[in-house]
Amino acid sequence: MSSDDVKGTTRTIGLIGLPVDHTMSPAMHNAAFRALGLDYVYVPFPVDPIDLPNALDGVRALNIRGCNITMPHKSTCIPLLDGLDTLAESLGAVNTVVNNGGELRGYNTDADGFLRSLKMRNISVAQRRVVIIGAGGAARAVAYVLAREGARLTIVNRTATAAREIAAMIEDDFEEKVLAYPLDDTSLQAALLEANVLVNTTSVGMGPGNDASPVPARLLRPDLTVCDVIYNPVQTRLLADAEAAGAVTVSGVDMLVWQGALSFRLWTGEEAPYDLMRDTVLRLLREA
């Protein structure tokens, strides 16, 4: 979709966040709309927290078909919506809104996007031990869907109390013991000894040229699957070390594209062109 293609019938999808300057979602979705010949356009809206209620009323009043919600509004938008999907409700975080005749319903495709990035590679987590590093919003989403799939979880975080909080949430919802440790070499080594899958959800290693890793390379093994939710760089230092150790690796790019693909289907009812969306994101990352 380019500005030349916008017509009187064109439906709008918005991105509500602050800042939204570096988002790749407009390029990813507009390429997908164009490829499928869908009469939609995706537009970013920088929205200050104080304006969020008015912005969501604007979605209703302007008949905007739906939107993505990003930082810092993922939780604060919830009381302003008319309904929530069960996953978004459990996580207390929304990244996608669908407007059905003025009724705004919130979804969370980040969490299922992560799961799809594993499933597309036939990586199964049921009954397997997964170590999650980090205990922020991304860790919460990842932990929740992994527990739903029957994974056995260990959460390791710099601030141990935050790891224990997520562990308690999962234990409450799934009646399954979750281990929680501080992020230090001894704990990591012990946790990884038992692990099949490792997921980094921290920001360690994020940003072009960033050479930091949350895990010493010597702890990585060929029988581990190593995932990073970071998508820039596409291959973080952690993933490069994991690949060098012979492990299977999963980049955050696939989680990013899958969350987009799942949102796309919610707004349009159409299956998203995954490969095209991924190529678009990779091209933007190369050009950045």
Residues taking part in catalysis: 74
Helix H, strand E, coil C: the string for 109-146 is HHHHHHHHHHHCCCCCCCCCEEEEECCCHHHHHHHHHH
Q: Which of 58, 72, 92, 137 is the binder for ligand ATR (CB under 6 A)?
A: 137
Q: Which stretch binds ligand ATR (CB under 6 A): 55-63, 128-136, 185-193, 277-285?
A: 128-136
Q: Which of 56, 138, 199, 262 is the binder for ligand ATR (CB under 6 A)?
A: 138
When asked if residue 155 is in the footprint of ligand ATR (CB under 6 A), the reply is: no
In angstroms, what is the minimal distance from the CB of 74 to ligand ATR?
Answer: 8
Q: Which of 43, 162, 248, 282 is the binder for ligand ATR (CB under 6 A)?
A: 162
Closest by Cα among 156, 149, 154, 155 to 125: 149
When asked if residue 202 is in the footprint of ligand ATR (CB under 6 A), the reply is: yes
Tell me if residue 19 falls in helix, strand or coil.
coil
Residue type for position 77: C
Q: Which residues pair with 181 in a beta bridge?
A: 156
CA neighbours within 13 Å on the CB side: how many for 246?
4
In angstroms, what is the minimal distance from the CB of 127 to ligand ATR?
Answer: 26
Sheet holding 152-157, edge to edge: 179-182, 152-157, 129-133, 197-200, 225-228, 248-250
Q: 126 is written with which tokens?
A: 């049921």
> Of 31 and 230, which CB lies nearer to ligand ATR in the complex structure?
230
Closest by Cα among 38, 14, 39 to 26: 14
With CB under 6 A, what is the number of residues at the site for ligand ATR? 16
Site string for ligand ATR, 205-244 (x = CB under 6 A): ---------x------------------------------
When asked if residue 136 is in the footprint of ligand ATR (CB under 6 A), the reply is: yes
Q: Which residues bind ligand ATR (CB under 6 A)?
A: 134-139, 157-159, 162, 183, 201-204, 214
